[in-house]
Structure 1
């Protein structure tokens, strides 16, 4: 398992490099956008895009992890289809080929006539990642990879990635929008139980290097397997009144209800993964979403890290029902191996009951006690 954790981190670093590379080539970036349609479309947005970076990163992660851990092949799932429509209207199945030259030729069929860009991407796809992380190298665990499966969100908050805004001022450390909310999420879960056990969150656009002006990233990881808990972060301190982060699209009744609990400390941000990261980092104490607009690939990696810190992620609807019925016991956590019955496309993996992400159980209970009084939730 320690080797798998290092492989997940390495894959996230390669993914972050590709994400930054695509952003640097502005004329190229305009060619990389294709509108999602049909059952792959997220119904929350009027326009929902996937980029070649999305598709390529997902296929690179699948390729690298499957090559190193053959037991995972067929059990590495992602948000995106690997099909991309090029400028001539042809559908190209994006994949990692045997050599950089072959991969460049395939990418050129999408990017033509941008041969230099295709070759640059191919080199990034095939490059070896060397991790210099003593803490990560020192993690010693044992779990058969054949017991696990993977969820990938190659670039969470794709709309912010496409928009690329860098001038969004943070509020108490939380950016309401912008490029910094675009993350790479890789989570592993137990195939039998659906419980998340490994999580990696990579921030490709964490900060700019003051000398070169190029973006630098950072990553966070967590392990929650049985009674074992390891994390690259320490649990944030328990605040007496929770700060809650929400989506701008969150309903007014939820905002009005939570305002007094938070003493006005409601914050807003883009990207489900980024809001979960804000909780992990202690910038917020809970992320509340009343809608079913997140998916397994959004939540699996952050959920594993939250568990490693002593917290978790529950379905809001189910948790409220339990508390209203007087059930004071532990609440069931989200799981990642059960598609929604009767749903099709992306909706098969929607978190339909909404969610609450938290580190400290006290904050979860405070949020649920407050929202239990809201009619219609």
Structure 2
């Protein structure tokens, strides 16, 4: 007699398959869940750690900037001209600083979008030291956020023109972290003094606002290399007796608004307001915006609009920066001005 075969009805076959899928699911659901959780974790960033890496990056970049200047190996060339016709120099200090800063941040947080003023194809295997400075450790806990909600802006050498002229007090390296377009972490490092200012909005800073400011009239700090018609604009706003301080570098100009340590303040200008009436790149101003915000200050366009630190790098609205004064009252004194038409 021929052996009997086993036949399954379509319904029975379906039940058998479902049972199999169920068994496989129960066997592997935990593994899949754990792997998905790990994948999600890799896409999260601890902001306190990102602040520590940003400080380390700014200092590393600053060492390159200082070494190139002191070795007189600038190898200066031109990137072109600004909209106002001023030359934009590029030096080895810019490039070497960029490589250190960009690669350290990108190697540590590969999922985060990083914009730098400079670009090149040289890679560096730099790894974060895992060192968190004591003052940053005092920040309670770390706040984890989605990596794709962050934009990091790097200025590897702010005030390059002044750098080529050996006016090194104006030179800074800067890192800013924006969360959904709002600056939350700012680092401004001065390579030639070794001083580093940092702030994490809502959590802490090593900086403070000065005890006294004035807007009647204020001392206004402006760009010495991209000033355009800013002097007459300032006098129209605040009167002909207004003191206008010309300085290099956006980072320096923000620090001029703050209370610097005694050993750093001797070479610094002091101002009440920072005004810029032409186009300016976001890597120039984002770090300063974060530090001012942490101090209760403001950095807005000339019209009082908040600046979005995501997307394209150009801020076309000019800026007004202040701390310790009525920012709205400042804005009300400013004449109507459209940077796109000047």
- Paired residues, what number? 278
**Which position in structure 2 is the counterpart of 1:63?**
103
Deviations 1:255-307 (A, max 9, x none): 3224538x533322122222122123472121011112x11100111110010
**Which position in structure 1 is the counterpart of 2:178?**
189
CA spacing shift, 1:57–1:365, aligned 2, 3 Å: same
User: Which of residues 293, 315, 322 is equivalent to 1:358?
Assistant: 322
User: Which of residues 248, 251, 255 is equivalent to 1:273?
Assistant: 251
Residue pair 2:76, 2:89 contacting (<8 A) in 1 also: yes
2: distance between equivalents of 1:196 and 1:9? Answer: 15
RMSD of the TM alignment (CA)? 2.6
Q: Return the offset for 1:238.
A: 3.7
Question: TM-score of the superposition, structure 2-length normalised?
Answer: 0.74
SS at match of 1:161: helix
2: distance between equivalents of 1:260 and 1:366? Answer: 15
Deviations 1:222-266 (A, max 9, x none): 111xxx2411112222424332112242424313224538x5333
Unpaired runs of 5+ residues, structure 1, are 83-92, 99-125, 165-177, 207-216, 320-331, 340-348
- Aligned ranges 1:47-196 → 2 under 5 Å: 47-72=87-112, 75-82=113-120, 93-96=121-124, 98=125, 133-140=133-140, 141-144=142-145, 146=147, 147-164=149-166, 178-190=167-179, 193-196=180-183
Residue pair 1:244, 1:265 contacting (<8 A) in 2 also: yes
User: Which of residues 167, 192, 197 is equivalent to 1:220?
Assistant: 197
- Aligned ranges 1:188-267 → 2 under 5 Å: 188-190=177-179, 193-206=180-193, 217-224=194-201, 228-241=202-215, 242-248=218-224, 249-251=227-229, 252-260=231-239, 263-267=241-245
2: distance between equivalents of 1:138 and 1:370? Answer: 40
Deviations 1:172-205 (A, max 9, x none): xxxxxx2111110100001xx3111100000012
User: Which of residues 78, 83, 86 is equivalent to 1:35?
Assistant: 78
1: distance between equivalents of 2:57 and 2:170? Answer: 19
2: distance between equivalents of 1:200 and 1:281? Answer: 15
The yes-or-no answer on 1:304 pairing with 2:290 is yes
Question: TM-score of the superposition, structure 1-length normalised?
Answer: 0.67
2: distance between equivalents of 1:128 and 1:296? Answer: 25
1: distance between equivalents of 2:175 and 2:76? Answer: 23
CA spacing shift, 1:46–1:234, aligned 2, 3 Å: closer
2: distance between equivalents of 1:308 and 1:250? Answer: 30
Residue pair 1:280, 1:305 contacting (<8 A) in 2 also: no
Unpaired runs of 5+ residues, structure 2, are 1-46, 261-269
Deviations 1:40-99 (A, max 9, x none): x43334421111221222222221112222322xx11111121xxxxxxxxxx3332x5x
Residue pair 1:287, 1:358 contacting (<8 A) in 2 also: yes
**Which position in structure 1 is the counterpart of 2:273?**
286
Question: Which is greater in Rg?
Answer: 2
Residue pair 1:199, 1:303 contacting (<8 A) in 2 also: yes
Residue pair 2:139, 2:203 contacting (<8 A) in 1 also: no
1: distance between equivalents of 2:82 and 2:336? Answer: 30
